Structure 1
Amino acid sequence: MTESSSHTATTPIETPPSPTLSKRAGRAAFVGTLLEYYDFSLYASAASVVFAGVFFSGSSAFLGTLQAVGTFAVGFLVRPVGGVILGSLGDRFGRKKILVLTLVLMGAATMLVGLLPGYSRIGWLAPVLLVLLRIVQGIGASAEYGGATLVAVEFSSQRRRGLLGSLPGMGAALGGVLGTGALLAVSTALPKDVFLDWGWRIPFLLSGLILAYGLWLRRSLPETPEFRRIEQADATAKSPVRDVIRRQPGALVAVLVMTIGQTGIGYFYLVFMGTFGANQLELDRTAILVGLIAAQLANAALIPLFGGLSDRVGRKPVIAFGFSYSAIFAWVAFSALTNSNSATMFWVILALGNGVGVGAIFGPMGAYVTELFDTEHAYSGLGLGREAGNAIGAAAVPVVAVPLAFDGTTVWLSLLLCGIALLGLVAAVLSGSPSRTDDVHSRDRVHIAV
């Protein structure tokens, strides 16, 4: 199917954003996703090394792991609904208001997890409340990345969209480092029984500091130039979700499938590989957390490099490289771990898999998916396309991988990782490239072939 769309011709903003305002917007976008992925990575790391014992005590190693990882998945399953609702509100009433709301939801839910009693104190109510807080996290996160990316890109000049659009991705990676690092620091500083009793709660409560700084940044940021342009022209969409489905179905499919690939690969390394290291490789808690930090540090370092590269060579070639690399590396990774299940090899595999592979995909993705959609329903398109892809990729892949890991062979794990990488590659190849323009406030026609 071939689809063409063009942005509504409206009166442009008189002057482009100043470099100072662009930097402020980039910083606000960066800090928001930093909090989002601090929360999500902290939860993922805790699910790997803490939650099975604290909230699901009495279960077998397999069942406890599956339940802990399952609660992580719940946060992604609700994200399409939250993405559609909040994305639609962002297209109708502005990016800024929704980004403040998402920040509050994410931060408050994470802090409450840190105050939640365990199974030994309140029984079945503990995992139920944990799931409910995870749902609130998911709703808050559903519009965070899309809105932050829109803010960064819509405040940037054309020649720097790839670089500035990668800042939310970089914030995500560094947030992951902070989340996992905080848990590692506390687990190292405290005796094991103290850590499992109450020490693990400290990093969850510290998320309030990032929340306060993010709110200060976002409340002082004006609305984006592109949204003000359509608002001044009275061209905001009344039904943005319906409009994006009807006018740009090809763009939605492309974003959905690429997101399945990107998040599926990323959370395979960041969630499932933590449980694989504990159960199959028999690594200790510290070795696993160091590996997760190595994966996220490599990702954070390479995301802006790949995003800047996409400004020079185009978004699609860089994204296609990331998926191709990930498909090949799926076989290299488990072959290396089979021959040497040392902690060092585990760290190298996580750093190369999540750093190079996911970094090359995630770096250009912010600008790329933003440029696929018309301004008047871009937030809804990102909320629907990306969050539906998140629900499938990030939620399903780690859960599916857990029983495969207990099968006694790593072939099925390699096939799973390779398959989702090839799925993303096909979507990247078939999706058309947004046209390049000299003016950040005007775009030509976008062609999507699906």
Structure 2
Amino acid sequence: MTESKPSPAEPASPPAEGTRSSAESKRASRAAFVGTLLEYYDFSLYASAASVVFASVFFGGSSPLLGTLQAVGTFAVGFLVRPVGGVVLGSLGDRYGRKRILVLTLVLMGSATMLVGLLPSYAQIGWLAPLLLVILRMVQGIGASAEYGGATLVAVEFAPERKRGLLGSLPGMGSALGGVLGTSALLLVSSIMSKEAFLDWGWRIPFLLSGVILAYGLWLRRSLPETPKFQRIEDSRKTARTPVRDVIRQQPRALLAVMVMAIGMTGIGYFYIVFMGTFGGNQLGLGKTDILIGLIVAQVTNALLIPLFGGLSDRLGRRPIILFGFAYSAAFAWPAFWLLSNHGSAAMFWLVLALGNGIGVASIFGPMGAYVTELFETRHAFSGLGLGRETGNALGAAIVPVVAVPLAFHDTTVWLSLLLCGIALLGLVAAAVSRTRAESEDARSRDEVRVPA
């Protein structure tokens, strides 16, 4: 695939860029990885705690059912604010720099998570407890809204051209490992403590431990220089004054492509790591331990394969790998449920999650970081990622549970296969019609050659 070239609005890369310290590139990659690790550690930790702890701690005045619904509802709030946060913080990142916003997002996420661990219970302060919990969840969502996009930009804009796919995949790997760590931390604490002690104060330990990741991430990011690409734009005074408006007017095709690909990628991912947990318990009759092992297997497999597919995209091109991931996910939707319907053992459940979330989602997620940055011009790339990806994420996370849960109670699993296949084909079409900046410029050049003087 043709690599990105500087657009006319962006100054050409100076020769010194290639000799820029490789230590800076490695440090930028670590900083990006740690940030997304913290983001998904926080999100998965909150999701697990919402279902097993928060109903009794923060919604003690409600019935068990209503308390659980309220607790899970606070988890959804984090996704609802992400598109807004992505637009606001993405715009600031395009105007004032990637580094400043990445430090801000890390502080927002880490401090909100730690404060949840210090929050008084409903029995201590009454209705203020759930109110403060919702506010902190919204702060988490705002911080997370710009974390992945900013981390990806930093990793890719510091990376040598031949390693953009590999290094751009590290934020995705961090998100997968963060999900495993968050779930595992809460499970570990609950397994070594009595139920009473765990509900009283033990659940707070994993939330407070996020401060360790926060401190390390801040140490990495505060000393990191601004990315070379943004620094050149800033030095030449070419930064966008209205980046959100600019990306909507100038690159609507790229914006729509990112949004739809995000719906497809997030929809497939949440299908396997959220909906399939419910399916395993209700339809397959698996125990909580078997389901939890399956979810961990899915996320670990995903984390291990993301850099593999990211590295392959440096050799074979971004789009072919992404198209393979969507096509594979559409095709695998059919044997997956046939295997579960006919051989619904715990081992088969684990295998399906590993093949679906591991190969399918990882082959999309791996090259996606570098690919989406190659779609947008540097001067409004942060805004494009914030608006496109976070809107797609919110829609994908909302569509799957609402549609899949009722379909699971039909006598056939054909409808579930159709849903998964449809989501994958949606992303496939978006990836197929998308164009990077370099491809768009090549097309314009060919058009100009064909037009007589």
Assess same fold via TM > 0.5.
yes
2:16 alignment partner AA: T
Picking from 334, 347, 350, the partner of 2:350 is: 347
Once structures 1 and 2 are overlaid, which stretch shifts more, 381-390 or 424-433?
424-433
Where does residue 238 of structure 1 map in the other structure? Answer: 241
Partner of 2:16: 15
Q: Equivalent of 2:150, from 147, 150, 158?
A: 147
Deviation by residue 1:353-407 (Cα, 9 ceiling, x = unmatched): 2111110000000000001000110101111111111110123323443344455
Residue 334 in 1 paired to residue 342 in 2? Answer: no
User: 2:91 aligns to what?
Assistant: 88
Find out whether 1:397 has 2:400 as its counterpart: yes
Q: Deviations over 1:169-206 (max 9, x none)?
A: 11111111211221221232223444344333221211
Q: Which residue of 2 aligns with 1:265?
A: 268
Please state how far the C-alpha of 1:162 moved relative to its aligned partner. 0.5
What does 1:6-45 correspond to in 2, within 5 Å? 6-10=7-11, 12-16=13-17, 17-45=20-48
Per the alignment, residue 274 of structure 1 pairs with 277
- Look up the equivalent residue of 2:427 and give its one-letter code: G
Q: What is the identity percentage for the equivalent residue pairs of Structure 1 and Structure 2? A: 75
Report the residue type matching 1:323 in the other structure: F
Q: Displacement of 1:296 after TM fit? A: 1.0
Alpha-carbon spacing, 1:403–1:125, altered in 2? closer, same or farther (3 Å): farther
Aligned counterpart for 1:420 among listed residues 423, 442, 453: 423
Which residue type is aligned with residue 216 of structure 1?
A: W
Partner of 1:204: 207
User: Could you tell me which residue of structure 1 aligns to residue 383 of structure 2?
Assistant: 380
Q: Which letter does structure 2 place at the counterpart of 1:45? A: S
Q: Deviations over 1:10-31 (max 9, x none)?
A: 2644511321111111111111
Q: 2:13 and 2:304 mapped to 1: Cα distance?
A: 36
Tell me which residue corresponds to 2:254: 251
CA contact (8 A) 2:42 2:113 kept: yes
Q: Do the aligned partners of 1:184 and 1:289 also contact (CA within 8 Å) in 2?
A: no
**Which residue of 2 is the match for residue 163 of structure 1?**
166
Deviates more, 1:289-298 or 1:143-152: 289-298
C-alpha distance in 1, partners of 2:70/2:272? 18
1:42 CA drift (Å): 1.7
Structure 2: distance between partners of 1:385 and 1:111: 29
Q: Secondary structure at the match of 1:143?
A: helix
Letter in 2 for 1:100: V
2:172 partner letter: G
* Larger displacement relative to structure 2 (409-418 or 344-353): 409-418
Confirm or deny: 8 A CA contact 1:45 1:271 kept in the other structure: no
CA gap of 1:323–1:123, structure 2 versus 1, over 3 A, is farther
Equivalent residues of 1:303, 1:359 under 8 A apart: yes
Aligned to 1:361: 364
- The 1:59–1:274 alpha-carbon spacing in structure 2 relative to 1, beyond 3 Å, is farther
Q: CA deviation at 1:126?
A: 4.1
Q: Residue 415 of structure 1 aligns to a residue in which SS?
A: helix
User: 1:408: Cα distance to partner?
Assistant: 6.0
Residues 1:102 and 2:105 are matched in the alignment: yes
Q: State the match for 2:315 in structure 1.
A: 312
Partner Cα separation in structure 1 for residue 262 and residue 206 of structure 2 = 29
Measured in 2, the distance between the counterparts of 1:126 and 1:283 equals: 34
Deviations, residues 235-269 of structure 1 (Å, cap 9, x unaligned): 00011111111100000000000001111111222
The answer to whether the Cα contact below 8 Å between 2:376 and 2:436 also exists between their aligned partners in 1 is: no
SS at match of 1:221: coil
Q: Summarize the Cα distance change of 1:273–1:128 in structure 2 as closer, same or farther, 3 Å threshold.
A: farther
Q: Distance in 2 between matches of 1:39 and 1:134?
A: 10
Matched position secondary structure for 2:422 = helix
Q: 1:110-141, CA deviations, whole angstroms, 9 ceiling, x for partnerless residues?
A: 12222334556555544443332221111000
Structure 2: how far apart are the matches of 1:350 and 1:147? 29
Q: Write the distance in 2 (CA, Å) between the matches of 1:250 and 1:5.
A: 18
**TM-score, normalised to structure 1's length?**
0.90
1:36-67 deviation digits (Å, cap 9, x = unpaired):
11111222333444445555565576x66655
CA distance in 1, matches of 2:135, 2:236: 41
TM-score scaled by structure 2? Answer: 0.89
Evaluate the alpha carbon distance shift between residue 53 and residue 424 of structure 1 in structure 2; reply closer, same or farther with a 3 A threshold: farther
- Provide the rounded CA distance (Å) in 1 between the counterparts of 2:16 and 2:338: 55
Q: Distance in 2 between matches of 1:363 and 1:383?
A: 18
Q: Which amino acid aligns with 1:357?
A: G
Aligned residue pairs, count: 437
- Report the residue type matching 1:366 in the other structure: G
Deviation of the 1:282 alpha carbon = 4.2
Contact 1:75 1:138 in 2 (8 A): yes
> 1:181 maps to what in 2?
184
Q: For residues 151 and 317 of structure 1, what CA distance do their matches in structure 2 show? A: 24
Structure 2 CA distance, aligned partners of 1:182 and 1:173? Answer: 14
Distance 2:340 2:229 in 1: 48
Higher helix share: 2
